[in-house]
Copies of this chain bind each other. A is one copy, B any other.
């Protein structure tokens, strides 16, 4: 499926912290650049995520803020 979310960042799973309802997943999307996601535990289980696996961070453009120093 092609999705309207403008951001698809390819990376490698670095860390998985499972909770009761939510699971925290960290991907490295470029050398030294990590993105953290919180998804439902069910989704994480269904996708069989594991350390070292290739995956994508998918983010809707309206959910991205811009910061400047």
Question: What residues of chain A have their CB less than 8 Å away from a CB belonging to chain B?
Answer: 1-9, 17-25, 27, 29-31, 33, 35-40, 42-44, 47-49, 53-69
B21 touching A56, Cβ below 8 Å:
no
Q: Are A36's CB and B67's CB within 8 A?
A: no
Q: Which 9 A-B pairs give the minimum distances between C-beta atoms? A: A19-B21, A30-B30, A19-B20, A37-B64, A63-B63, A56-B67, A4-B43, A6-B36, A58-B65
Determine the residue in chain B with the shortest Cβ distance to A33.
B30
Q: Is the CB of B63 within 8 A of A59?
A: yes
**A56 partner, pick from B1, B38, B63, beta carbons under 8 A:** B1
Contacts of A19 in B (CB 8 A): 19-22
